[in-house]
Amino acid sequence: MCGIVGIVHFGDLTEGGSAETRVRRMAEVGKHRGPDNTGFYFNQDVVFGHNRLAIIDLDVGSNQPMTSPCGNYTLIFNGEIYNYLEIKDKLLRESSFEFKSQSDTEVVLAAYMEWGASCVEHFNGMFAFAVYDQKEGRVDVFRDRLGIKPLYYHLAEHGVVFASEIRGVIASEMFKPALSVNGFEDYLRYSTVHSPNTILKDVYMLEAGTMLSITRSEVNKKRFWDLNSNYSKQSEGHSKDEIKRTIKDLFYKSVQRRLVADVPFGAFLSGGIDSSAVVGAMTEISDKPVSTFTISFAEEEFSEAKYARMIAEKFGTNHTNIQLNPNDFLEQIPTALAAMDHPSADGPNTYVVSQATKAANITMALSGLGGDEVFGGYDIFKRATSLNGKKWLFSFPPIIRRGMGNMLRRVKPSVSSDKISETLNQKYLELAYYFPINRQIMLENQLRDFLSSDISSSNSVFDFATEGIEYGTNGFNVPFLSKVSYLEMNTYMQNVLLRDVDQMSMAHALEVRVPFLDHELLEYVHGVEDAVKFPHSPKQLLIESLGELLPNEIVNRPKMGFVLPWKHWIRKELKDYCKERIDSLSERKPVNGQKLQAMWKEFLNGGKTGWAQIWSLVVLDNWLNANNVEY
């Protein structure tokens, strides 16, 4: 796991600094991602920088940038290729490449030399990397299939600048950071910005499973993998028992691949189904003791410590329970916000557990992230299945449905009632129409009131859903619950969970691996029919596939997540800080300051405005100010 930065320049950059000066500045900003080594490559057209966090082959011979023996190809690579030894064996048999290291980096370089851009089809892993082909005058940039590793870029007048972090792109000083109107509206809706857009104008995130090819004459973008185009039909005609055996085999194989490391490793353990499954598989596979880490609170309503301890005792892990009181957590919020690369309301919890894990001399940790999305753990899976059987509701004229929604709002005012009413107002009762409402923290009527000008962008999740599953040929025949998974993975998971894990773990130079997002496991599960996967209880297919690995107390426990008393903190300990940020945001041009102040007052008085709306706005203003972003 590392950080990469680069500038591909086709003109004079001396005003404001040379390309070399700019890339050195970009690398310095991202040094926390790779404290073990910083290296550079300089060419008249290309400058690369690399910060290394050594995980596999700690020798200096694996430092980057890495140039091929012939001198033509230069690579900078962030991530891990879990099947690199298999690929290396294949290359030794089929190519003339002579390996000089034991690293997966050299395997990526050799694979690109042998297979070109199609090398990514051979990789099982998480990655963002760039390769410069000097002879062809081309730089190819890739991002992994699921978007686990980030890659941001800006198309400048005389070239392209890219980096693992958006702050690295800003540090190039090839543009003045300005607020993206579309990104801002997306953030107001979802407390995040969905790729390819970011919160900054003209700065983009390379989409998952996509490559950029950069030459002097053009920049081309091409998708090399999408789950709806690559899912497996292997489960068709197989019994449920056969499907469960296959899922178990694929899951264990995924965990085993992710235990390859030359540094101490551990696991995040909440005591939920997903993290417990990962820890259980790790202990059965590994010949080394597994270290596990849990964040807990003295208050029982917020603590999962007893469940985590139960799993730790069952599997005999070296368990560390980090108990925090609210003041401990509050003290770390400013540093967590300072570590935030792209604004997000959900990041501080990951920051705290990553900090504690790294402090225990752990450099790599496994996480249960992705289990809910892949195996139907969220309420939206049940809700979508239920709505799919209620299309008769839309036999009523729109005016009747609108009246039903308005009545519900009056009788039972709540965020849930607002979302039901919004669903009834949709054109169709189809997944692409009601799914975007699921995670919205500001609905369309609220958004119109909040802005000082008209809404300028469409709903990004709706646009993605209609293209990806409603009208897109690739997603049309996918099982219904897999469509829900597809949307969750490509929206909330990629643009909130994975982004937060990357930016907050890498703030401490900690690598996090996610076994549930192995693409071979995903491709198989995505093709399993609803009759087998139907979520009559959360993640039932996963639980049944793992057999006796998980105790009943874990399987049947209430789902908690990482719950914190935010609404109390914002009204008390964080009140002054939040008010300062709310006042600052009220002065920004796109915001209706009067409406924002009314929302703040309503929240303080216990009204309908929720803490999530307020906190996301506080985080946004903090980030905009910290990065000197103009409107």
Q: Which pLDDT belongs to residue 12?
A: 63
| Residue after which a domain boundary falls, among 532, 555, 578 | 555
The burial class, CB within 10 Å (0-12 / 13-18 / 19+), for 576 is exposed
Give the confidence band of 50 by pLDDT, cuts at 50, 70, 90.
very high
Asked if residue 506 and residue 391 are part of one domain, the reply reads no
Same domain, 366 and 261: yes
Using one digit for the tens of pLDDT, what is the confidence trace for 404-462? 888 988 888 888 888 888 888 888 889 999 999 999 999 998 999 999 888 888 899 99
Q: Which of 555, 578, 613 is the last residue of a domain?
A: 555
Question: Is the bond leading into 196 cis (omega within 30 degrees of zero)?
Answer: yes
pLDDT at res. 393: 82
Q: How far apart are CA 18 and CA 104, in angstroms?
A: 32
Q: Is residue 495 included in any domain, yes or no?
A: yes
For residue 557, the tally of other CB atoms under 10 A from its CB is 17
Same domain, 100 and 192: yes
Handedness of CA 517, 521, 523, 527 (dihedral sign): negative
Whether the per-residue pLDDT at 102 is higher than 80: the answer is: yes
Residue 408, H or E segment: helix 398-411
Same domain? 147 vs 296: no
Radius of gyration from C-alpha coordinates of the chain = 24
Beta strand 210-214 with 318-324 is unpaired
Residue 162 and residue 257 share a domain: no
The pLDDT, as a whole number, for residue 227 is 95
The reply to whether 480 falls in a domain is: no
Residues 325 and 190 in one domain: no
- For residue 534, what are its two tokens? 């139907």
pLDDT digits (tens, 9 = 90+) for 471-518: 555 556 889 999 999 999 999 999 999 999 999 999 999 999 999 999
Dig out the tokens for 626 from the structure: 């910290």
Q: Which is it for the CA torsion 414, 419, 420, 425, positive or negative? A: positive
Position 138 scores a pLDDT of 96
116 with 176, same domain: the answer is yes
Q: Is residue 346 part of a domain?
A: yes
Name the token pair of 510: 């900690």
Residue 509 falls in which region: left (phi positive, over 0), alpha (psi -120 to 50) or beta: left
Asked if 122 and 205 sit in the same domain, the reply is: yes
For position 47, which CATH number holds?
3.60.20.10
How far is the C-alpha of 282 from the C-alpha of 256, rounded, in Å?
A: 7
Percent of the chain exceeding pLDDT 70 equals 95
- This prediction's pTM: 0.94
User: Are 75 and 216 members of one domain?
Assistant: yes
Has 578 been annotated as catalytic?
Answer: no
Q: Which of 2, 70, 119, 578 is catalytic?
A: 2
Same domain, 338 and 192: no
- Indicate whether 481 belongs to any domain: no
Asked if residue 269 is part of any domain, the answer here is yes
Is 442 in a helix, a strand, or coil? coil
Reply yes or no on whether the pLDDT at 310 is more than 60: yes
Q: Which residues contact 291 (CB under 8 A, 6 or more apart)?
A: 264, 265, 266, 267, 317, 318, 319, 320, 360, 362
What pLDDT digit, counting tens, does each position of 200-253 carry? 999 999 999 999 999 988 999 999 999 999 999 999 999 999 999 999 999 999
Q: What confidence score (pLDDT) does residue 498 get?
A: 97
* 297 and 331 housed in the same domain: yes
- Structural domain contains residue 23: yes
* Confidence at residue 216, expressed as pLDDT on a 0 to 100 scale: 87
Long-range (24+ apart) CB contacts under 8 A made by 114-119 are: 117/142, 117/211, 117/213, 117/224
Confirm whether 560 is domain-assigned. no
pLDDT tens per residue, range 509-563? 999 999 999 999 999 999 999 999 876 777 999 999 999 999 988 888 776 655 5
Q: Binning pLDDT at 50, 70 and 90, where does residue 352 land?
A: confident
Q: What is the pLDDT of residues 573-593, one digit of tens each?
A: 899 999 999 999 999 988 999
**Residue 236 falls inside a structural domain:** yes
Pull the structure tokens for residue 450. Answer: 């909040």
**In this structure, how many other beta carbons lie within 10 angstroms of the beta carbon of residue 552?**
9
pLDDT of 331: 84
SS3 content of the chain, % helix, strand, coil (to 5): 50, 15, 35
Total structural domains in the chain?
Answer: 4
What pLDDT sits at residue 300? 59
pLDDT band of 14, cuts 50, 70, 90: low
Domain range holding 443? 384-465
Which of 555, 576, 609 is the last residue in one of the domains? 555
Indicate the SS3 state at residue 338: helix
Question: Where does the pLDDT of residue 470 fall: very low under 50, low under 70, confident under 90, or very high at 90 and above?
Answer: low
Q: What is the CATH number of the domain that holds 371?
A: 3.40.50.620
Whether residue 337 sits in one domain with residue 457: no
Whole-angstrom distance, CA of residue 192 vs CA of residue 345: 8
Neighbour-count burial for 467-484, b at 16+ CB within 10 Å, e otherwise: ebbbebebbeebbbbbbb
Distance CA 589, CA 570 (A): 25
Token pair, residue 13, equals 């950059």
